Amino acid sequence: MSELAAAQRHLRRADPVLAQIIDRCGNCTLQPDRRYFASLVEAILSQQLSVKAAATIHARFQNLLRGRVASAGILQLTDAQIRAAGISRQKMGYLRDLSTKWQDGLLHGRRLARLADEEVIAALTQVKGIGRWTAEMFLIFSLGRLDVLPVDDLGFRNAVKKAYRLRKLPEAGRLRQIAEKWRPYRSVATWYLWQSLENKPR
């Protein structure tokens, strides 16, 4: 049995609310995206933007880099080139900080993949513009970690409120309490709850 199938089986038995969502949504399709650096760049570019605006700016930035999103290429771009793609001065600083740390070997995809979850979060949040939420999304969607609980994610909180018929948005402590029975597959449970809102998690 695959790990995702095992996760679905565990969650179905552990939580009747999730069992109904799993029946409705079908099999979990979470697959790690191994483009580690490019995923972090995309996360920075999409901050505080609509999906459409983020996609436009990301496409322009990829064109600047001739389709190859790499730290060396970013560090060779001028301020004017980056700003022409519609990227703010603040995000330009974030991208350069990420690229410098990647180039210097302070961050590295394969090394990150060997670290424990909290160590990955500690490493990534050293980069300007990357907070805990972005690091948690990286754990789930890039490293494929199956037991991450993003308690600050608004979509997740809304989904839990709706699915468990809570009167108000749950705070971190309540979310952890509800999620205790999902271990060691809290990422998969979170994915299903995102799906229950009929939103794409990314």
pLDDT digits (tens, 9 = 90+) for 35-62: 999 999 999 998 877 888 889 999 999 9
User: Cα Rg for the chain, rounded, in angstroms?
Assistant: 18
48: left (phi over 0), alpha (psi -120 to 50) or beta: left
Question: Quick check: helix, strand or coil at residue 173?
Answer: helix
Mean pLDDT of the chain: 93
Integer Cα distance of 57 and 39 in angstroms:
14
The pair of three-digit structure tokens given for residue 43, joined into one six-digit string: 């996360």
pLDDT digits (tens, 9 = 90+) for 159-200: 999 999 999 999 999 999 999 999 999 999 999 999 998 754
Mark out the alpha helices in 67-153 (DSSP H runs). Answer: 71-76, 79-84, 89-103, 109-114, 117-124, 132-141
Catalytic residue among 23, 79, 97, 153: 153
DSSP codes of every residue in 55-86: HHHHHHHHHHTTT---HHHHHHS-HHHHHHTT
Integer Cα distance of 41 and 30 in angstroms:
20
pLDDT of residue 49: 77
pLDDT digits (tens, 9 = 90+) for 131-149: 999 999 999 999 999 999 9
Clarify whether 153 is annotated catalytic.
yes
